[in-house]
Amino acid sequence: MKKPVHELMGFETDENHEFLVVGAYCWGLGDTIEKAMKKARASGDVSRCYCKIVPINEKIGGSWDICQMTGGLSVKNSDSWNFKEDEVFLQTWDKNFHVGGNSRGKVTKYGFDLFS
């Protein structure tokens, strides 16, 4: 059985974080990149996406939003969470980790600065 992409990339994750995949007019969340990609594919094109590790707000208080105009990610500290101290979150924050998928939502390519 193939390893999930995040294990191949060496990302360390836990139950307080999930993967966010954002493509053209679509996005998806999942505990693996593959699950997030399939959810994003349900509503749009996933051939060129970026991927971030984001906190689960209900578990650690981390807050984030997808910016409407740019498609970027805005992150807010809270009383219980500071993104500058979250080692899991910082693995992909402010880095260009990209994934590409096919029409069924299967991950076909991944890597840093893939579409730059």
Write out the E strands in 1-116.
Answer: 17-24, 26-30, 45-55, 63-66, 73-76, 97-101, 107-112
Indicate the residue type of 72: G
Band the pLDDT of 71: cuts 50, 70, 90.
Answer: low
d(CA 20, CA 53): 6
Phi and psi angles of residue 36, each rounded to the nearest 5 degrees, phi first: -65, -40
pLDDT at residue number 113 = 95
Model confidence pTM above 0.85: yes
For the segment 5-17, what is each residue's pLDDT rounded down to a tens digit?
Answer: 999 999 999 999 9
| Domain assignment of residue 36, given as a range | 5-112
d(CA 70, CA 84): 22
pLDDT at residue number 53 = 97
For the segment 14-46, what is each residue's pLDDT rounded down to a tens digit?
Answer: 999 999 999 988 999 999 999 999 999 998 999
Nearest to 50 by CA among 102, 108, 114, 99: 99
The count of structural domains within the chain is: 1
Measured on CA atoms in the order 95, 99, 100, 104, is the torsion positive or negative?
negative
CA 41 to chain centre: 14
For the segment 92-106, what is each residue's pLDDT rounded down to a tens digit?
Answer: 999 999 999 998 999
